[in-house]
Structure 1
Amino acid sequence: MSKIITGYAVRFNEETVISGLWREKVAPSAFEKSLRDYPDVLALYGHDYNRVLGRTAAGTLELRPDRIGLDFTLYVDESTPDGLTALGNVRRQDISGCSFSFAPTRETWLEGDDYELPLRIIEEAMLFEISIVSLPAYPTTSATLLERSADTTPMANASNARRRVAEREAAMRRRGIAI
């Protein structure tokens, strides 16, 4: 049985407040160029570059932008201490969110009024890494543990797909996200 952590590292067009200073949201196409031109993205534990959990170049991290956000699948190595830590914390939902490290290459700032913070829209950015974290800046991100068997028959694939959807829906409900 392989251990997989999946979820959304980024949710598009959802605002959050950064350090109490500005609002921010990520446009749906923000990472298209980065993922195409620089496809080696890391998956880290808590933004720590010494705690690598996977990477796209190694095939242990898959990133897929969809209509909701940047969907990820992380194939976790149980033979590493960090892999076991990540699996345990996500399984218990002590860690259920994600964060990401990026450098904006195109952004728009909209000035807020007296009662509203300025809004930064990330239109294009270089994506360096995603991380599973306990306190994400974007609270609607998600990280959920999937446990899959190696059975890849059509019946097993359908069962795994239904289970994955159910687990994501349950994780979203736990976070108060309407589905």
Structure 2
Amino acid sequence: MSDDRERRSFLRPLEVRADQGAMTLTGYAAVFGQATDLGPFREQIAPGAFSDTLRRSDVRALFNHDASKVLGRVSAGTLRLTEDATGLSAEIDLPDTTDGRDVRELVRRGDVSGMSFGFRVLSDRWDFTDDDAFRTIEAVELYEVSAVTFPAYDGTSIALRSRDQALRERRTQNFNAARLRLRLKTDLDLMVRSKASTGV
């Protein structure tokens, strides 16, 4: 994966159902408004974060983010992604391959119970009002969704760089605002003095 790609995982119930002979895996790869503690900051995904990327991206479904273990693909019709009120819903028609059969059995037994997604942040918002930084992801470019053995929150180093940049921008804005206030106060003082000395 390239340097700016991140992964997030969610423990939500995964199900396998038989649909006209096909075995379909269903679950949520992402959930909106669920604050996640990533250690150095907390994060949530805003509703609508996937709306643009779902219209244009040919997303793959993988097992454990492994590109050699393809389970489905949007353009093939074997992966269907929908953004609803809860989050990013995924339906994967599992292939009749070793990986597909393994995933089906692992989910059926409860050994695999989480999903994850690989993405790049296009728009986010940081809130530094509390001691801990809080990030809201507003728009992403989605690359893949995965059924995962160990749901984890990877990619925090990229998010930390984003946080540090947001902090620098905020400090710059605060500095510029303070400089502008000082300049306005100085200009106002000069005007008052000038009027006082001229008697106007």
* Counterpart selection for 1:24 from 43, 60, 64: 43
Question: Match of 2:121?
Answer: 104
Question: Match of 1:67?
Answer: 85
Report matched runs for 1:5-84 at 5 Å. Answer: 5-18=25-38, 20-38=39-57, 40-78=58-96, 80-84=97-101
Question: Match of 1:156?
Answer: none
Q: Decide which structure has greater helix share.
A: 2
Q: Displacement, 1:112?
A: 5.4
Report matched runs for 1:100-139 at 5 Å. Answer: 100-111=117-128, 113-114=130-131, 117-137=132-152
Aligned residues: 133
Instruction: From the CA coordinates, give the structure whose radius of gyration is larger.
Output: 2
Q: Is the 8 A contact 1:76 1:87 kept in 2?
A: yes
Work out the percentage of aligned pairs sharing the same amino acid.
44
Instruction: Let me know the Cα RMSD of the aligned residues.
Output: 1.3
Structure 2 portions without partners, runs of 5+ = 1-20, 154-200
Tell me, in whole angstroms, the C-alpha distance in 1 between the residues paired with 2:130 and 2:44.
18
Structure 1 portions without partners, runs of 5+ = 139-179
TM-score by length of 2: 0.64
Q: Displacement, 1:135?
A: 2.6
Return the structure number with greater relative CO, CA threshold 8 A, min gap 6: 1
Q: Is the 8 A contact 1:41 1:127 kept in 2?
A: yes
What amino acid maps onto 1:7 in structure 2? G
